[in-house]
Amino acid sequence: MPVSRRAQGNAAQQVSLVVLLGPPGAGKSTQARRLAERCSIPFLDTGDMLRDEVRRGTKLGFQAERYMKAGELVPDTLVGPMLEERLSQAAESGGVILDGYPRTLAQAELLDSLVNKKGLPPPRVFLVDVPTANLLKRLTARRVCPRCGRNYNTYEQPPQKPGVCDFDGAPLVQRPDDREAVVRERLRVYRKETQPTIDYYARQGRLARIDGTQAQEKVTSDIVAKVSQ
């Protein structure tokens, strides 16, 4: 399940809506989880939400699965309503961190209109930037806990006991879309579809770039510092 939880922290007062952009493998999910704890607001990970629909065998999961397996984007007709519903709930929690949305210009425009409609402040947008050359290795080495959703990396961030989650002891798995051929397609889709989204926010002076090659702690503290400004 995507995690939605409130935790201890002191940055919540300044935060309402945070958007994390970045290529697959940049560490957005890890950062979303860390920021959610630091800022005491929930996060929404659209990839996790869709995987959860697939696992539960819902109609949406059934419709989304073939796109996800191929490394393609799930159509907006499926993702948009899912986001709108969750965004309404999130607005009541004092804010939300969006991980994996928007990924296209159309999604960025939809988000702006939903934010207006719901009277939320405009999103603070961060690009977690990692050079493409690092991403293939990062993604194919990624292992995920199917129970709590935490990510590991067999090279850079292995679990204490190989193949087992440090937090709940569940056996780690490789996401089907982290196989090399699918990763290459996801990176192609990112360059084609998500780059214009980044340009859209940059043109409006709404984009802050964060060096995603730094240690996880440093990436989090860089974002928190900018969120608190």
Three-point CA angle 135, 138, 143, nearest 5°: 140
Q: Which is nearer to ligand AMP, 189 or 208 (CB)?
A: 189
Active site residue 186: yes
| Residue 179 annotated in active site | no
Residues 170-189 that bind ligand AMP (CB under 6 A): 177, 186
215's tokens? 């240690």
Contact between 68 and ligand AMP by CB under 6 A: the answer reads: yes
Render the burial of 88-109: b for 16+ CB within 10 Å, e for the rest.
eebbeeebbbbbbbbbbbebbe
Instruction: Between 177 and 222, name the residue whose CB sits nearer to ligand AMP.
Output: 177
Q: How far is the CB of 138 from ligand AMP (least distance, A)?
A: 12
Residue 28: active-site member? yes
Q: Which stretch binds ligand AMP (CB under 6 A): 36-44, 65-73, 87-95, 208-216?
A: 65-73
Residues in region 186-205 near ligand AMP by CB under 6 A: 186
74 binds ligand AMP (CB under 6 A): yes
24 binds ligand AMP (CB under 6 A): yes
Stretch that binds ligand AMP, among 9-17, 31-39, 99-107, 123-131 (CB under 6 A): 99-107
* Shortest-Cβ-distance residue relative to ligand AMP: 47
Q: For residue 52, give the H/E element and its range.
A: helix 46-56
Least distance (Å) from ligand AMP to the CB of residue 228? 26
DSSP 102-149: --SHHHHHHHHHHHHHTTPPPPEEEEEE--HHHHHHHHHTEEE-TTT-
Number of residues that bind ligand AMP (CB under 6 A): 17
Q: Which of 22, 23, 27, 47 binds ligand AMP (CB under 6 A)?
A: 47
**Distance in angstroms (rounded) separating the CA atoms of residues 100 and 104:** 10
Query: Residue 206 to residues 17, 27, 127, 147: CA-CA distances in angstroms?
Result: 13, 21, 10, 35
**Contacts of 227 by beta carbon, 8 Å cutoff, 6+ apart:** 11, 14, 15, 18, 35, 39, 124
For ligand AMP, the closer of residues 39 and 68 by Cβ is 68
The amino acid occupying position 45 is D
Mind telling me the catalytic residues? 28, 103, 142, 175, 186
